[in-house]
Every structure is written in C-alpha cells, then in structure tokens.
Amino acid sequence: MENRLPYRSDGLKSLMALRLRCQICKLEKMEEE
C-alpha cells in the first residue's frame, strides 16, 4: 500500500509538469505572434 503512493504522486507531478510546459509554450507562442 505505502509503496504505491509515491508512484501516484510522481504521476501527478509529471502531469502537472507537462501541463505547465504546455501553458508556457502557449504563452511563448502568443508573445511571438
């Protein structure tokens, strides 16, 4: 049970990181235009 929690948290962190990257990329594209 305890071993599964870290994996889940890592997955959430990776998803958040990907979302942040997408948002940053979009902002950069908007600034370029």
Per-residue model confidence (pLDDT) at position 9: 79
Candidates 16, 12, 20; CA nearest to 28 is: 20
* Domain ranges for the chain: 1-33
What stretch of H or E contains 2? none
Per-residue model confidence (pLDDT) at position 2: 60
- In whole angstroms, what is the distance from residue 31 CA to residue 33 CA? 5
> In this structure, which amino acid lies at residue 6?
P
Per-residue model confidence (pLDDT) at position 32: 80
Residue with tokens 């600034």: 31
pLDDT in tens, 1-33: 566 666 677 888 888 999 999 999 999 988 887
Per-residue model confidence (pLDDT) at position 7: 65
Per-residue model confidence (pLDDT) at position 33: 74
Per-residue model confidence (pLDDT) at position 12: 84
